[in-house]
Structure 1
Amino acid sequence: MIDLPSLPTDPKYVVITPEMADLWLTHCNPSSNRVLSDTFYERYAKAMASGAWKTTHQGIAFDKKGMLLDGQHRLMGIKISGVSIEMLVIPNCNAETFDVLDAGNRRQAAQLLKVPHRVIVAAAARIIGQMYKMWDPVTLFDGFYDTRASTSDILKTVAAWPELVSMAPIASAAYRAAGVNQPTHLVVLAQAARTEHAERIEDWASGLISGANMDQKDPRLVLRNRFFRERVLLGSSAGRRTSYNLIAKSWNSWAQGKLVGTLKALEGEGIIPVVGTEKFRPQERLTQ
């Protein structure tokens, strides 16, 4: 049986040794905590080892079961610095406070997702979540991207849309090959994966990534060329909605076996529905 360091019954400043930090990190750090950032804990460790670390009100917090809620970066700093540090230890916290702890390095949804390509998955969730009414929008950028969606809403959306995770490698590869906006492409792919056209995604990805052996009016090549020409704009936040609509139009043509001459973003047009989603999308929020 592991002999864990005892926790105080009330908030208390405790001298935490590297051995204590290691035990808490190994046995009391739940997998739901965010991914450790070596940038942060190495910076903390350097300050601790040099004597520059200052004891403040910020410390570590545990829930009522003794599991770590906050402070894993500070504990990792103590562990690798090899220095004992006095720090506030707060026991018996409510787990619901997790989302608002550690304001100095606010937890982002992407830090909590334990999946590949987690940054673009979280960004795509901000789009698809509000499109499919998974929460009441807080601050919509261009009526499209919720810039202030809560962490819990984003995590809930990723759980409801596992296609965001499974399609992320395609979005990432298309960005590297042709600069196609990753989050908006991922939102289109996630929806397409739920339609009768899902089997066309593999060939879509192959052509978009390679750019080889395609007709000049192939929707994939036309989209690829458009992003090559306007990569900066279409990859920015200002071009996010436009990039989504261009990708959706291109995908819709490809899925239905149609060629296209050009891809145009029309002023005042709504969010373009992905073909085949009419069976499950909220009609009033997606307009043709």
Structure 2
Amino acid sequence: MTHALAPATLTDLDALGHHGPTALVITITPHLATELLKRNTRNRSLRDRAVGDYARDMTAGNWVINGEAIKLATNGDVLDGQHRLHAIVKANLSTDMFVVIGLDPETQETMDSGRKRSTGDALSLRSEENALSLAAITRRVWAWQQGDRRFKGRYTPTTAEVLTLLAKHPEIRRSTEIAARTRSSFPHIPQSVVGTAHFLFNAIDPGECAWFFQRLADGAELPLGHPILALRTRVTSERRDGDRMAEDRYLSYLVRTWNAVRDGRELARLTHKPGSDIPTPK
């Protein structure tokens, strides 16, 4: 049985909950979310990242009713949905939610047992080519734009934020295609880093960017001392030695090489101290 109730109060929910499992779409105000959280007595540890992700989507207007429900027990306890409720409080916005009330408290043991759909899955459903790589590259472009140049920030973008950024910058698809093509010829730099660098460099000079990644892939006719030759030699040697390199190190190498090419400088050797800043492409 499905009801629509907006706005709702605890009294309304408790009254309906006595009739067994009931589904509703209601507007949950920050006040109601706060009251419901007082009944959040038996749940998993709160994950601040998830709360922040949801709150950003709500603030940006990206929150949609997708069938995932706040679940309440017959006694009113919150069985599932604490992160969404905390996000409503954090965003301080009334939000429409699908709610199921009147559940047996023991059903909590079977909740959230399925595999979470990833951003890559969402892009696959949209028939995007190279969906997993596209998701990875778009996430890193998002991080760069947030000032996280090392991809180690506290927050990662939500699926809605990835889709919004991709709609704003459809050229990320081309960067993903170039990354896949480059990696098929020169597999020593992660595809996600190659695609992110391509997006950044292409925004500066599309023509030189195209030449840069073609030479990165094939190494053709590069004289001794050329920055791209130094890059290819460096990462090939490190991969051969079995070194495990962080993504920010690869990105630093790419940016330093790009800047040297743009300046017309030779580059005999590439270095990057762990934890140091990533230079700005120019």
The TM-score normalised by the length of structure 2 is 0.54
> Could you report, residue by residue, the CA deviation over 1:27-74 in whole angstroms, capped at 9, with x for unpaired residues?
xxxxxxxxxxxxxxxxxxxxxxxxxxxxxxxxxxxx9xxxxxxxxxxx
Which residue is 1:124 aligned to?
137
Which residue is 2:248 aligned to?
241
Asked whether 1:257 is paired with 2:264, we answer: yes
Cα deviation for residue 218 of structure 1 reads 1.6
Asked whether 1:219 is paired with 2:232, we answer: no
Secondary structure class of the residue paired with 2:212: helix
Q: Give the counterpart letter for 1:125 in structure 2.
A: T
Asked whether 1:108 is paired with 2:118, we answer: yes
Which stretch has the larger CA shift, 95-104 or 259-268?
Answer: 95-104
Unaligned runs of 5+ in 1: 1-8, 12-62, 64-94, 135-139, 276-288
Which among 195, 200, 203 is matched to residue 194 of structure 1?
203
Shift in alpha-carbon separation, 1:148–1:191, aligned structure 2, 3 A: closer
Q: Give the counterpart letter for 2:266 in structure 1.
A: L
Q: Give the counterpart letter for 2:197 in structure 1.
A: V
Shift in alpha-carbon separation, 1:239–1:193, aligned structure 2, 3 A: same
Cα deviation for residue 143 of structure 1 reads 5.4
Q: Give the counterpart letter for 1:205 in structure 2.
A: F
For the Cα contact (< 8 Å) 2:143–2:149, is it kept in 1?
no
Matches of 1:263 and 1:118, distance apart in 2: 32
For the Cα contact (< 8 Å) 1:234–1:240, is it kept in 2?
no
Matches of 1:126 and 1:146, distance apart in 2: 13
Cα deviation for residue 232 of structure 1 reads 7.6
Which among 188, 191, 202 is matched to residue 182 of structure 1?
191
Matches of 1:267 and 1:173, distance apart in 2: 29
Matches of 2:118 and 2:243, distance apart in 1: 21
Matches of 2:179 and 2:242, distance apart in 1: 14
> Could you report, residue by residue, the CA deviation over 1:10-36 in whole angstroms, capped at 9, with x for unpaired residues?
59xxxxxxxxxxxxxxxxxxxxxxxxx
Shift in alpha-carbon separation, 1:211–1:266, aligned structure 2, 3 A: same
Cα deviation for residue 202 of structure 1 reads 1.9
Secondary structure class of the residue paired with 1:105: coil
Matches of 2:157 and 2:135, distance apart in 1: 10
Cα deviation for residue 145 of structure 1 reads 5.5
Shift in alpha-carbon separation, 1:268–1:214, aligned structure 2, 3 A: same
Q: Give the counterpart letter for 2:238 in structure 1.
A: E
Cα deviation for residue 153 of structure 1 reads 1.5
Matches of 2:201 and 2:162, distance apart in 1: 20
Unaligned runs of 5+ in 2: 4-24, 26-62, 70-111
Aligned residues, how many? 179
Matches of 1:172 and 1:123, distance apart in 2: 12
Matches of 2:252 and 2:142, distance apart in 1: 17
User: How do 1:93-172 residues align onto structure 2 when only pairs under 5 Å count?
Assistant: 96-98=64-66, 104-113=114-123, 114-133=127-146, 144=152, 148-172=156-180
For the Cα contact (< 8 Å) 1:184–1:240, is it kept in 2?
yes
Matches of 2:209 and 2:234, distance apart in 1: 20
Matches of 2:170 and 2:113, distance apart in 1: 29
Secondary structure class of the residue paired with 2:64: helix
Secondary structure class of the residue paired with 2:215: helix
Matches of 1:146 and 1:234, distance apart in 2: 29
Shift in alpha-carbon separation, 1:173–1:235, aligned structure 2, 3 A: farther
For the Cα contact (< 8 Å) 1:158–1:164, is it kept in 2?
yes
Percent identity, please.
Answer: 17
Q: Which has the larger radius of gyration?
A: 2
For the Cα contact (< 8 Å) 2:149–2:278, is it kept in 1?
no
Shift in alpha-carbon separation, 1:188–1:117, aligned structure 2, 3 A: same
> Could you report, residue by residue, the CA deviation over 1:179-212 in whole angstroms, capped at 9, with x for unpaired residues?
22211121111111111x2211221122111122
Shift in alpha-carbon separation, 1:198–1:141, aligned structure 2, 3 A: closer
Shift in alpha-carbon separation, 1:216–1:181, aligned structure 2, 3 A: farther
The TM-score normalised by the length of structure 1 is 0.53
Matches of 1:235 and 1:117, distance apart in 2: 27
